[in-house]
Amino acid sequence: MEPEAPLTQTVLARGISVDFAPLGGVLQDLTVTDDGTTIAPLHHAPWSPDEVPADSPRHQRWLAGDFLAAPFGPGPDGLHGLTANGLWPITPAASGTLRAVLEGAVNGATLVKELSLADDHPVVYQRHLFIGGTGALPVANHAMISVPNGAKLSFSRKRWWETLPEPLETTRGRSCLAYPRRAEDAAEFPAADGSTVNLHRYPWGERHEDFVAGIEDPASRLGWTAVVRPTEGDLILTLRNARALPMTMLWHSNGGRDYAPWNGRHTGCLGVEEGAALPVLGLSSRETPDPLTAAGQPALLTLDPLGTVEVRHILGAIRWPTGQSVAGVMLEGDVLTVTGDWGAERKLPIRGAWLGTATPAAPAARKPAVDWDS
């Protein structure tokens, strides 16, 4: 049995709230009130902690919302690292900000998490500070969007899309994309059966478990992913500094695992995981130099033994009753403009300088990818 978890804490601002769970450092129960509608976009696994087998990754006991994965993927502290499986006690912070410090170190680094909100801003500002430490590691947020009724996906410009070295599931479930494969067009990604699928849609198949990553255009500054839920009439948006986090990773979890605790019931979950994680690229991770490094993009997060490295991410939601796919997201000063493919438009207040545009530290050597579970 999992020990009794510390109580969650709520951060509030006008029109938005978010709960933080110290066990696993999970941003959960994000709620946005927009145009008289309450939007709660984050996914929560349909099981209780005591249904999770003892040999499963610890974070599966509370799988929900968004958390930091460092290292992203397998590691000495379990799948997705101590950041996803450890404890983040809350420490004092300014009003409107929640601060937590991870118990234990990652590659020798102390980790600080900050969540902050602002009145009438429909987004949560999330910052992770790696203080000290050595080496380099794959990192990403692990946001999970609830899409029980399907969704339309749009992205900032990508160079290509690529799957893992091996399928997520082979004998105890089903993966339906081709592995490892690369394709420039997200609308025609190769499937295992020789057909193609459209990654701009969810779902694109039945009862499958798949993972695919998109690599940002090196010229991009603002990286974004937009998930439109037409039935719900809303839009979920993630933003990042594309020069620091050049990868958008999609986890399609839609009933493709037949074993506990999944048991075919984990459906309608779309992971939108933004980061720098070369090992998940089944072909590119084998190349020397890898194509991210060759283009001056960080393949991993490089720590600074004498300083601090930051990872920043914005997650939010707005009312979007037209159901139009998103054609563009533009940041001008403190205004974010979201445009639909048939002319819908929303202008949103935002901390325009918060993501920053500084060139990231030089990338480090790649690491191999091994067994994945979520």
Model confidence pLDDT, tens digit, residues 73-131: 998 888 999 999 999 999 988 888 999 999 999 999 999 999 999 999 999 999 999 99
Neighbours of 359 (CB within 10 A): 10
Give the CATH number for residue 41: 2.70.98.10
Smallest CA-to-CA distance from 69 within 249, 206, 240, 292 is with: 249
Under the banding of pLDDT at 50, 70 and 90, the label for residue 15 is very high
* Domain carrying residue 303: 9-349
Question: Residue 361 domain-assigned?
Answer: no
Question: Residue 373 domain-assigned?
Answer: no
83: region left, alpha or beta (phi > 0 left; psi from -120 to 50 alpha): alpha
Under the banding of pLDDT at 50, 70 and 90, the label for residue 4 is low
pLDDT (0 to 100) of residue 374: 55
Q: Report residue 30 as tokens.
A: 């994000």
pLDDT, tens only, 318-351: 999 999 999 999 999 999 999 999 999 999 999 9
Is residue 320 within 8 Å of 306, Cβ to Cβ? no
pLDDT (0 to 100) of residue 223: 97
- The number of domains in the chain is 1
pLDDT, tens only, 185-210: 999 999 999 999 999 999 999 999 99
Question: Residue 4 domain-assigned?
Answer: no
Peptide bond into 74 cis (omega under 30): no
How far is the C-alpha of 228 from the C-alpha of 176, rounded, in Å? 23
Question: Residue 282 domain-assigned?
Answer: yes
How far is the C-alpha of 234 from the C-alpha of 230, rounded, in Å? 7
Q: Using the predicted structure, report yes or no on whether residue 226 has a pLDDT greater than 80.
A: yes
Question: Residue 364 domain-assigned?
Answer: no
Under the banding of pLDDT at 50, 70 and 90, the label for residue 368 is very low
Strands 247-254 and 139-141 turn out to be unpaired
Question: Residue 130 domain-assigned?
Answer: yes
How far is the C-alpha of 128 from the C-alpha of 142, rounded, in Å? 13
Whose tokens are 């509030």? That residue is 12
Is residue 20 within 8 Å of 97, Cβ to Cβ? no
pLDDT (0 to 100) of residue 93: 87
pTM, two decimals, is 0.94
Rounded mean pLDDT, 133-139: 98
Question: Residue 366 domain-assigned?
Answer: no
pLDDT (0 to 100) of residue 201: 98
Question: Residue 273 domain-assigned?
Answer: yes
